[in-house]
Amino acid sequence: MKVADRPGAIPASGIRAVAAAAWARPGTLHLELGEPSYDTPAHIVAAADAAARSGRTHYGPTAGLPEFRDAVAAKLVRDNGWPDADPATVVATAGGVGALFAAYSALLDPGDEVLVPDPGWPNFTGLARAVGAVPVGYPLDPATGAPPAAGILDALTTARTRAIVVNSPANPTGAVWTVEQQAAVGEWARQRGVWVVSDECYDRLGFDGPVRGMAVVAPDVPTVSVFSLSKSYAMTGWRVGYAVAPPNVAAAMTRVQEATASCVSTVGQLAGVAALTGPQDFADRMRATYAATRDCATAVCDELGLRYLRPGGAFYLWLALPASVDSERFAFDLVERAGVALAPGTAFGPAGRGHVRVSLAARSDDVIAGLSAVADEVAGRR
């Protein structure tokens, strides 16, 4: 029996392919996955345990528990620089990817086009194909990760362009767009009637100062802001995220979620309340640790002669390989020969050719060992 064509159009994850090879080789250093090396803080786990034991295990409202949406609204004002936030515009989702899927479903009809960063997180492209939309990559400055000029975006735009995805701090480059850069892209989108989908899953992980999202920088731009608890609070396995959108879009996203998930785990949301309203020192310590690892890693790269884009946030280091090197083959060879797993740049779009991504969320000693292996492999290929 034939299956539908659409799943086959969703690209397989090049990151997961390398991870599978690494898992098959015991002792491999895992620097390929975008996951904090920390466990979820104890007070968050305790809140989930108390919620489950007290019977908070039933269905909840599709858009999210009131206490979760209230906690999100307060956090946006406290941490993200929003002048105010209405809990009614918050939609609790199954991680940031759930928010993106609901946003894409609410904004894009089959055949519509969405501009996505290249290089960019693979799910930006995969989710577009999952809803029948067409992803169109837009280039980032290879030296800084900055967005392109309006003229370049115009050249990629057609009558079917409905949205542009922005991501700062960015995966895979770690680039943080300046206020001026975000405002320029936002103004471009506003003038052309294009929605902005702003992925801010690394909003608490700016290394050189607080980062501000599109809804703050350009409040007049129609924007869906997407967040996650996964990175800032080491909650990747809990699958709790949220989106903030204009009322009509929030309502449409809620309808999508009702059809696909009914509601987000109530226990997970109550853990999220503890994360958002409880002590924030854990998130601050994580950010400081990643920043220190960034500084150590870039110093090692300088010593080893490795070229890189200096990250301003998230927890990734984007390395440039020699022009003749196939980054996918390089990543698999590094697992086999050196026991080090990195994400191949090709997993992040055509502009990722000739690059690899290193996770800075690992122990600094492991990151240094991984970079040394990269330098040795590059030298051997030369």
Higher pLDDT, 267 or 14: 267
Please state at what angle helix 266-277 crosses helix 66-79, rounded to 10 degrees: 30
Res. 381 pLDDT band, cuts 50 70 90:
low
Percent of the chain with pLDDT over 70: 99
The Cα–Cα gap between 75 and 203 comes to 11
Domains of the chain: 6-40+281-381 (3.90.1150.10), 58-277 (3.40.640.10)
The predicted-structure confidence for 178-217, as pLDDT tens digits, reads as follows 999 999 999 999 999 999 999 999 999 999 988 999 999 9
Pairing of the two strands 161-167 and 113-118: parallel
Residues 6 or more apart whose Cβ sits within 8 Å of residue 310: 174, 294, 298
Task: Place 377 in a pLDDT band, splitting at 50, 70 and 90.
Answer: confident
> Across residues 358-371, what is the average pLDDT?
93
CA atoms within 13 A on the CB side of 82: 19
Q: How many CB atoms lie within 10 A of CB 78?
A: 13
User: pTM of this prediction?
Assistant: 0.93
CA within 13 Å, CB half, 223? 24
CA angle, 95 then 33 then 324, to 5°:
130
Smallest CA-to-CA distance from 75 within 228, 262, 197 is with 228
Q: Which residues of 341-376 are buried (b: 16+ CB within 10 A; e: fewer)?
A: bbbbbbbbbebbbbbbbbbbbbebebbbbbbbbbbe
Q: What is the pLDDT of residues 238-256, one digit of tens each?
A: 999 999 999 999 999 999 9
Q: Is pLDDT above 60 for 350? A: yes
Q: Give CA–CA dist 204/110, Å, rounded.
A: 34
The Cα–Cα gap between 6 and 33 comes to 26
Would you give the distance in Å from CA 77 to the centre of its chain? 21
What are the angstrom distances between the C-alpha of 178 and each of 217, 285, 350? 10, 24, 24
* Mean predicted lDDT score pLDDT of the chain: 93
Contact, 262 vs 98, CB < 8 A?
A: no
**Do residues 316 and 344 lie in contact, with contact meaning Cβ atoms separated by under 8 Å?**
no
